[in-house]
Amino acid sequence: MSEKPLPDAASKAPLSLALARWEGEGGAPAEPWALNDLGEQDRRVLACLGAAVVSGWNDLPTDIQRAIFRHAVAEATYDPARLAAQIARFLHDHKDDTGAA
C-alpha cells in the first residue's frame, strides 16, 4: 500500500478559502439539530464523516483545524469548555492513528 503524499501549501489554499467563504455565508446553522432528532442512517453518516475528519486531521491546515474545532463547540448545549477539552483529548489521543483497520 503506497502512502498518500502530503498536500503542499498551494493545494491547502483552496480549502482555507472555501472554509472562509462558508463561514462568511453563516457557517454552521444557528440552531443545530439534535442528534436525538436524527434517524439511525443520518447518525451513521455523521459518524463516518466525523471519523474521516479525525483520520485526516493532521493533514488539514491549522486554520481549518481551528475552525472545525470552533464550530464543534460553538453550539454545545452543555458545558462548552468541557466539550472542548474532551475533543482536544480525543484528537490528541488519536493523532497518530492512520485510520487503517
Does 101 have pLDDT greater than 70?
A: no
Work out the pLDDT band at 97, boundaries 50, 70, 90: low
> Which among 28, 1, 99 has a CA at the least distance from the CA of 58?
99
Q: Would you state the pLDDT for residue 61?
A: 93
> Which among 64, 62, 51 has a CA at the least distance from the CA of 22?
64
- pLDDT tens, position by position, 50-80: 899 999 999 999 999 999 888 888 766 677 7
Share of the chain above pLDDT 70, in %: 59
Does 39 have pLDDT greater than 70?
A: yes
- Identify the residue with better confidence: 14 or 62: 62
